[in-house]
């Protein structure tokens, strides 16, 4: 029995640990593609595309408002902005920078700042920098956000500091 335990601890556990780290570069590429799709759908006003990046049971947490509610409620509220963007009435964009990325083959926890810009086509856009965390799960159809935690407002300086990392 002791020999079996020794084999487990000295040979099998290191193999499991080594295997858990494989595919990290490919996974980061997949996650980057996920965030690129979020940005594209916001920029183009593609509500259905944006909705497809969300898990149907997703949750939005707002640290600035001290609220938590289904992401589907937020989507219903945001739909008018997507429509206005698609119709060219406003311009919108979102960019992401990350300070910490933790993942395995089917889950990811992303931490960083996003920059959301919006405004009508005649004015300079309003920029909002937001500290956020996102919990994602990988499904057959790709990565889906389960929880978006918009923690607090961020500054342009904090945004710029993430670019240096």
Q: How far apart are CA 10 and CA 7, in angstroms?
A: 5
DSSP label at 124?
A: P
For residue 165, what are the contacts with CB-CB under 8 A and spacing of at least 6?
99
pLDDT at residue 18, rounded to an integer? 38
How far is residue 87 from each of residues 38, 124, 127, measured CA to CA in Å? 18, 18, 21
* Low-confidence spans in the chain with pLDDT less than 50: 1-21
Per-residue model confidence as pLDDT tens digits over 34-77:
999 999 999 999 999 999 999 999 999 999 999 999 999 999 99
pLDDT at residue 88, rounded to an integer? 92
pLDDT at residue 4, rounded to an integer? 38
Contact 119, 143 (CB under 8 A): no
DSSP label at 154?
A: -
pLDDT at residue 129, rounded to an integer? 98
Domains and CATH numbers, the chain: 23-163 (3.10.450.50)
pLDDT at residue 10, rounded to an integer? 40
Helix (H) or strand (E) holding 79: helix 71-86
Q: How far apart are CA 77 and CA 87, in angstroms?
A: 17
Helix (H) or strand (E) holding 80: helix 71-86
Please tell me whether the overall predicted TM-score, pTM, comes out greater than 0.95 for this model: no
Q: Token pair of 92, please?
A: 């919108």
């Amino acid at each position: 029995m002791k020999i079996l335990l020794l084999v487990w601890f000295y040979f099998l556990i290191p193999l499991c640990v080594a295997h858990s780290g494989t595919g990290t570069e490919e996974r980061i590429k997949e996650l980057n593609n996920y965030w690129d799709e979020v940005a594209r759908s916001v920029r183009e006003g593609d509500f259905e595309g944006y909705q497809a990046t969300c898990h149907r049971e997703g949750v939005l947490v707002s640290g600035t408002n001290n609220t938590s509610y289904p992401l589907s409620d937020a989507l219903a509220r945001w739909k008018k902005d997507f429509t206005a963007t698609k119709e060219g009435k406003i311009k919108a964009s979102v960019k992401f920078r990350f300070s910490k990325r933790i993942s395995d083959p089917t889950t990811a926890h992303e931490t960083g700042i996003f920059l959301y810009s919006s405004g009508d086509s005649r004015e300079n856009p309003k920029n909002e920098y937001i500290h956020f965390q996102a919990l994602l799960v990988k499904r057959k159809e790709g990565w889906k956000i389960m929880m978006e935690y918009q923690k607090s407002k961020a500054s342009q300086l904090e945004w710029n500091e993430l670019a240096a990392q």
